[in-house]
Chain A
Amino acid sequence: MKDTDIKRLLYTHLLCIFSIILSVFIPSLFLENFSILETHLTWLCICSGFVTAVNLVLYLAVKPNTSSKRSSLSHKVTRFLKCCIYFLMSCFSFHVIFVLYGAPLIELALETFLFAVILSTFTTVPCLCLLGPNLKAWLRVFSRNGVSSIWENSLQMTTISSFVGAWLGALPIPLDWERPWQMTVERKCSICRSLHVPRMGLGPVIR
């Protein structure tokens, strides 16, 4: 049971990483002048879209938690709507936290918001998929001794490492290298991603 779980976990993470890599290359086939550095905002949208889609597909395919008893259509719809609302809420609250952290209030608002969106896709979307719109379960997972399955453990690790990665991404901002790619948001995201990816790979291996 555990071995199969670990295998599935590994495959899902590999798929996630693959989707991020794809999001770099696929849009250049359809869009003109696409590159990560220059049109980073577009790329951010596409990347977050890809990751969300992969997460949803995985959730439907693997179904790690089979606890939902009622399965009427209306229940599913309300659940889905609730998920959407949670996602939006998390985007906005992240935005607020970034502004409190020192992001400018008015200028670069779009960048800040997109950063909030991508951080939400890396953290909130997996939580929603795995735990559903159940805030108490979330709080339980993110506390000591609150993890009850390997899936939750992986969720805990990836989410925390995403936050740490985003935090580390802010560190090079004061360096005056004056490179064009050294945009605040851009930098944060790339490091967030680069840290996210290895941890996602490591998660199952450590177990």
Chain B
Amino acid sequence: MQKASVLLFLAWVCFVFYAGIALFTSGFLLTRLELTNYSSCQEPPGPGSLPWGSQGKPGACWMASRFSRVVLVLVDALRFDFAQPQHSHVPGEPPVSLPFLGKLSSLQRILEIQPHHARLYRSQVDPPTTTMQRLKALTTGSLPTFIDAGSNFASHAIVEDNLIKQLTSAGRRVVFMGDDTWKDLFPGAFSKAFFFPSFNVRDLDTVDNGILEQLYPTMDSGEWDVLIAHFLGVDHCGHKHGPHHPEMAKKLSQMDQVIQGLVERLENDTLLVVAGDHGMTTNGDHGGDSELEVSAALFLYSPTALFPSTPPEVSRFLRTYSAATQDLQAKELHQLQNLFSKASADYQWLLQSPNGAEATLPTVIAELQQFLRGARAMCIESWARFSLVRMAGGAALLVAACFICLLASQWAISPDFPFRPLLLIPVAWGLVGTIAYAGLLGIIELKLDLVLLGAVAAVSSFLPFLWKAWAGWGSKRPLATLFPIPGPVLLLLLFRLAVFFSDSFVVAEARATPFLLGSFILLLVVQLHWEGQLLPPKLLTMPRLGTSATTNPPRHSGAYALRLGIGLLLCTRLAGLFHRCPEETPACHSSPWLSPLASMVGGRAKNLWYGACVAALLALLAAVRLWLCHYGNLKSPEPPMLFVRWGLPLMALGTAAYWALASGADEAPPRLRALVSGASMVLPRAVAGLAASGLALLLWKPVTVLVKAGAGAPRTRTVLTPFSGPPTSQADLDYVVPQIYRHMQEEFRGRLERTKSQGPLTVAAYQLGSVYSAAMVTALTLLAFPLLLLHAERISLVFLLLFLQSFLLLHLLAAGIPITTPGPFTVPWRAVSAWALMATQTFYSTGHQPVFPAIHWHAAFVGFPEGHGSCTWLPALLVGANTFASHLLFAVGCPLLLLWPFLCESQGLRKRQQPPGNEAEARVRPEEEEEPLMEMRLRDAPHHFYAALLQLGLKYLFILGVQILACALAASILRRHLMVWKVFAPKFIFEAVGFIVSSVGLLLGIALVMRVDGAVSSWFRQLFLAQQR
């Protein structure tokens, strides 16, 4: 019963956190309101008639059309320098030959031969530079908003006024071919359309070849006015290989041929537009707002001269003007209005007196441009309109939840902690509050807001808890005991929290976290030394100081902790080599090891790396098996251990085979291609299935002990070896006499027992001491393998480091935690903070960054090389598991912090037992020796055990909760900061999702320990039953 209440209490605290996060998010991330008014040809954009009075002409709207037909070729991720003409005759500099430079030679030729017919521009696009946002921006002329960035894979139709809508309403036939994102954005808008799936970024050619099949026939048929072709190959090539790969040159040359073919087919009334929707970084990704991502190419060409006589200013002027009027309807800002009225007055004056036009034109243009810039800035600001009340409420709830954690974690280990009333009363009150709120809303007929409902439930359950806590505990003790975090840990925690309030520190967190972790580790070592636990006490006792601080002798040698510390530092540093840069730091270079092996060009290096990855995999496997072997759990015949013995190598084999296929898939001969694609679909699923079945086995039979029933009786009998004849020598006597003695002893004992009852069953159970941690370690390994598969191959080295690092850290922490029998058990704050810090460090060292373009999208295709169709939750799950793998692993492994000191108990004892001299003696009485109780100490005091688990969970939740609180506060305080959408908001979102993943993982981990505990209890019960029979 108490187990369930521990879990439910933790779940309730998590719920309070979730309510706070949800409330804050609903106030912080607001979407832009989409207007549904459309402009039409009948309403001219401004007062008065337009200068080129063209209303009467057929096919004209506000202005006469210069071209009757347009071919728009949208090349996804066509960066400006891809299209830039290469002038190779620069003296003094060697000609640079990069795969992406100078491949669009037809553009260059046209620009040189027909300068009046073509123009090439660098277009600055608005971030976020994801394809759907860019398409929205290109067709509506508005700003893409931040919140849209998340809905990239479930896009919705555009309801705002847009280009396609206007074209269709003007009676033009719009033909589309290419990326099927357009189908979602403009359902039913095209007279003819050929859509191709866009989500599979590994597929370079399907979309492009599909377009090419349709493009020329459609063009020749002449049944179109606007022809849009959206090519995806360049973008996919960037995602898969990066721009520096030879494949990119091939793709760009293909685009060049397309443009060449189109130019040859163009008629005189047609305009050709070649545009990129965004650029790409040096890694080939996009989504952010670095210079390379926002500079896209825009190329215009027509067989008739584009710029014969009219100055380009006029067209720009008109474009500005129409754009400006549309913006004005929506937003009123006094200053801008003044500016605009002045500009339009000037414009009117300009229209009335055409003779002075040349002089006033530039000022009008400048004014209008200024107006536009102002309007744009205002829009950016106003589309992020915050609801301060909700933000404050969310932050307050988070504070409250942190307070609960702190209070309850102090209270939980005291014996008078009322488990059940503390849980039941808040839940009851929360339910009452929820029902009352819902009823109130029902009476006044308002819409039910789930977020607010959750918040009301959280508050109404929190208040009675507080009252009860005050009555039961708080009034008796001073408040100072509430803040038990020791000084250095508090200081480091404060540093960590202060980091969230500065954008440079958030950007540099990937480097700052290992630094903090290193400091923490050294601090732990120094603290151990300072407390005198590393040195023998005789060194420390000074003649002057009679009282020595050390009451218990040091459990380990001084070099032991130092070795652990240095090893940890080394691991941290090595893991730091797998570092991915945020885009904001220009001087930083991402580690080249983060890219998948498939993108490597050299064959030999690839093979070497592949060998290293498989070696890391095997090392991980061997380490886990060695560990289990060391504590003896591997000998158990239970199904989980059988799985560890046979299933784990199978999983490793599957992983290695999948890597081999994935890294060499392009080199496979064509007739094997079907086999390869089939295998790359089956293998990851098989590994995941094996892991799932292993976890199921573990849950079914978590007790991994070796039972030798009736071990007492036969042991003595085997000693008896036949010996006949009288003893001749002293050696024979030495051999025979003890045997005779034992035999007699056995006989007597047997006779005695037979008179008492039936023969007793002596049961020897081994490895009970590590039964909890064995289950935890097995579960962690089983979890790690599928997560490993979702990452790029070389991240497996980081996973190996992760296991090594946590192992060393656990040992280091265990060296400083005294075992208090019979309880209460506690896990110190420093252990929990170090654990949380290491989770963050691993998040960064597995190549992640808290920004959206850094998400590893390719994880969605592991096991699904063909994409997912319309299903969106599965890729989201895969990508989420990739991103938050470290959060999950460390949260599930959190109970190890409590268990490990008990494991280390045996180590210390064993070390002392085996000085070389009395080894023989130890061999004589191996079973009679008092075995260390280890984790059975926890079982001996179940109340303390559960309280310690609850405390551990609360402490971990507190550390995580304080982090998310700091993020929320930073985001709300700095909400007008320049970097809020670039740094703070993504950081908050990542922290929030990470918190949710971590809390779920924590609950799972604690539940696993509870399950093992339950199984051990029932196992004991069965044993007693068997003995009684």
Please give, as numbers and ranges, the residues of chain A lying within 8 Å of B576 by CB-CB distance. Answer: 102
A29 at the interface (CB under 8 A from B): no
Instruction: Select from chain A the residue with minimum beta-carbon distance to B512.
Output: A174
Return A27 CB to nearest CB of chain B, in Å.
31
Instruction: Select from chain B the residue with minimum beta-carbon distance to A174.
Output: B508
Q: Does B529 contact A142, Cβ atoms closer than 8 Å? A: yes
**A171–B502 alpha-carbon span in the complex (Å):** 12
Choice from A101, A146, A170 contacting B540 with Cβ under 8 Å: A146
Main secondary structure of the interface of B (DSSP, over half): helix
**A140–B545 alpha-carbon span in the complex (Å):** 12
A191 at the interface (CB under 8 A from B): no
Q: Does B539 contact A140, Cβ atoms closer than 8 Å? A: yes
Q: Does A143 contact B569, Cβ atoms closer than 8 Å? A: no
Please give, as numbers and ranges, the residues of chain A lying within 8 Å of B532 by CB-CB distance. Answer: 143-145
Choice from A102, A140, A174 contacting B518 with Cβ under 8 Å: A102
Q: Does A148 contact B544, Cβ atoms closer than 8 Å? A: yes
Choice from A97, A99, A101 contacting B515 with Cβ under 8 Å: A101
**A56–B107 alpha-carbon span in the complex (Å):** 75
Return B148 CB to nearest CB of chain A, in Å.
29
| Residues of chain B from 705 to 747 with CB closer than 8 A to chain A in the complex | none
With A102-B518, A139-B535, A174-B507 already in contact, the answer to whether A145 and B549 are too (CB < 8 A) is yes
With A148-B542, A167-B519 already in contact, the answer to whether A143 and B573 are too (CB < 8 A) is no
Choice from A143, A148, A171, A174 contacting B529 with Cβ under 8 Å: A143
A176 at the interface (CB under 8 A from B): yes
**A148–B530 alpha-carbon span in the complex (Å):** 15
Q: Does B540 contact A102, Cβ atoms closer than 8 Å? A: no
Q: Does B504 contact A101, Cβ atoms closer than 8 Å? A: no
Please give, as numbers and ranges, the residues of chain A lying within 8 Å of B502 by CB-CB distance. Answer: 175
Please give, as numbers and ranges, the residues of chain B lying within 8 Å of A173 by CB-CB distance. Answer: 508
Please give, as numbers and ranges, the residues of chain A lying within 8 Å of B545 by CB-CB distance. Answer: 145, 148
| Residues of chain A from 159 to 179 with CB closer than 8 A to chain B in the complex | 167, 170-171, 173-176
Q: Does B570 contact A174, Cβ atoms closer than 8 Å? A: no
| Contact mask for chain B residues 508-524; partner A; CB cutoff 8 A; 1 contact, 0 none | 10011011001100000
With A140-B539, A142-B529, A144-B549 already in contact, the answer to whether A102 and B514 are too (CB < 8 A) is yes
| Contact mask for chain A residues 81-110; partner B; CB cutoff 8 A; 1 contact, 0 none | 000000000000000010111100000000
Choice from B495, B542, B572 contacting A146 with Cβ under 8 Å: B542
**A145–B545 alpha-carbon span in the complex (Å):** 8
Please give, as numbers and ranges, the residues of chain B lying within 8 Å of A136 by CB-CB distance. Answer: 539
Return A162 CB to nearest CB of chain B, in Å.
14
Return B505 CB to nearest CB of chain A, in Å.
5
Please give, as numbers and ranges, the residues of chain A lying within 8 Å of B504 by CB-CB distance. Answer: 174-176
Q: Does A142 contact B515, Cβ atoms closer than 8 Å? A: no
B531 at the interface (CB under 8 A from A): yes
**A39–B364 alpha-carbon span in the complex (Å):** 54
Return A95 CB to nearest CB of chain B, in Å.
13
Q: Does B515 contact A145, Cβ atoms closer than 8 Å? A: no
Q: Does A100 contact B569, Cβ atoms closer than 8 Å? A: yes
Q: Does B518 contact A101, Cβ atoms closer than 8 Å? A: yes
Q: Does B573 contact A100, Cβ atoms closer than 8 Å? A: yes
| Contact mask for chain B residues 558-594; partner A; CB cutoff 8 A; 1 contact, 0 none | 1000000010011011001000000000000000000
Interface residues on A, range: 20 to 34
Return A1 CB to nearest CB of chain B, in Å.
14
Return B913 CB to nearest CB of chain A, in Å.
28
Return A176 CB to nearest CB of chain B, in Å.
5
Q: Does A145 contact B539, Cβ atoms closer than 8 Å? A: no
B387 at the interface (CB under 8 A from A): no
Choice from A99, A102, A143, A176 contacting B511 with Cβ under 8 Å: A102
Please give, as numbers and ranges, the residues of chain B lying within 8 Å of A100 by CB-CB distance. Answer: 518, 566, 569-570, 572-573
**A146–B566 alpha-carbon span in the complex (Å):** 25
**A145–B508 alpha-carbon span in the complex (Å):** 39
Please give, as numbers and ranges, the residues of chain A lying within 8 Å of B518 by CB-CB distance. Answer: 100-102
**A167–B558 alpha-carbon span in the complex (Å):** 24
Instruction: Select from chain A the residue with minimum beta-carbon distance to B584.
Output: A176
B1018 at the interface (CB under 8 A from A): no
B548 at the interface (CB under 8 A from A): yes
Q: Does A174 contact B505, Cβ atoms closer than 8 Å? A: yes
Please give, as numbers and ranges, the residues of chain A lying within 8 Å of B515 by CB-CB distance. Answer: 101-102, 170
With A99-B573, A102-B515 already in contact, the answer to whether A143 and B530 are too (CB < 8 A) is yes
**A102–B518 alpha-carbon span in the complex (Å):** 9
Return B365 CB to nearest CB of chain A, in Å.
36
With A102-B518, A136-B539, A174-B504 already in contact, the answer to whether A145 and B548 are too (CB < 8 A) is yes
Instruction: Select from chain A the residue with minimum beta-carbon distance to B574.
Output: A100
Give the interface centre of B502, B514, B531, B569 by most chain A CB atoms within 10 Å. B569
| Contact mask for chain B residues 105-121; partner A; CB cutoff 8 A; 1 contact, 0 none | 00000000000000000
**A143–B533 alpha-carbon span in the complex (Å):** 10
Return A115 CB to nearest CB of chain B, in Å.
15
Q: Does A143 contact B535, Cβ atoms closer than 8 Å? A: yes
Please give, as numbers and ranges, the residues of chain B lying within 8 Å of A140 by CB-CB distance. Answer: 539-540, 542
**A102–B588 alpha-carbon span in the complex (Å):** 14
**A136–B541 alpha-carbon span in the complex (Å):** 12
| Contact mask for chain B residues 943-970; partner A; CB cutoff 8 A; 1 contact, 0 none | 0000000000000000000000000000
Return A108 CB to nearest CB of chain B, in Å.
13
Choice from B511, B531, B573 contacting A174 with Cβ under 8 Å: B511
Please give, as numbers and ranges, the residues of chain B lying within 8 Å of A145 by CB-CB distance. Answer: 532, 540, 542, 545, 547-549
Please give, as numbers and ranges, the residues of chain B lying within 8 Å of A99 by CB-CB distance. Answer: 573
**A2–B539 alpha-carbon span in the complex (Å):** 26
Instruction: Select from chain A the residue with minimum beta-carbon distance to B509.
Output: A174
**A100–B573 alpha-carbon span in the complex (Å):** 6
Please give, as numbers and ranges, the residues of chain A lying within 8 Å of B505 by CB-CB distance. Answer: 174-175
| Contact mask for chain B residues 484-519; partner A; CB cutoff 8 A; 1 contact, 0 none | 000000000001000000101101100110110011
User: Would you list 14 pairs from A and B whose C-beta atoms are within 8 A, ordered by A residue?
Assistant: A101-B569, A102-B514, A102-B518, A139-B529, A139-B535, A140-B540, A143-B532, A145-B545, A145-B549, A148-B542, A170-B515, A174-B507, A174-B512, A176-B504
Closest 6 CB pairs of A and B: A174-B508, A100-B569, A176-B504, A100-B573, A174-B504, A175-B504
Task: Other than A99-B573, A142-B529, A175-B502, give 15 A-B pairs with Cβ distance below 8 A.
Answer: A100-B570, A101-B569, A102-B518, A139-B529, A139-B558, A140-B540, A140-B542, A143-B529, A143-B530, A144-B530, A144-B549, A145-B540, A173-B508, A174-B505, A175-B505
A residues in contact (CB < 8 Å) with B: 97, 99-102, 136, 139-140, 142-146, 148, 167, 170-171, 173-176
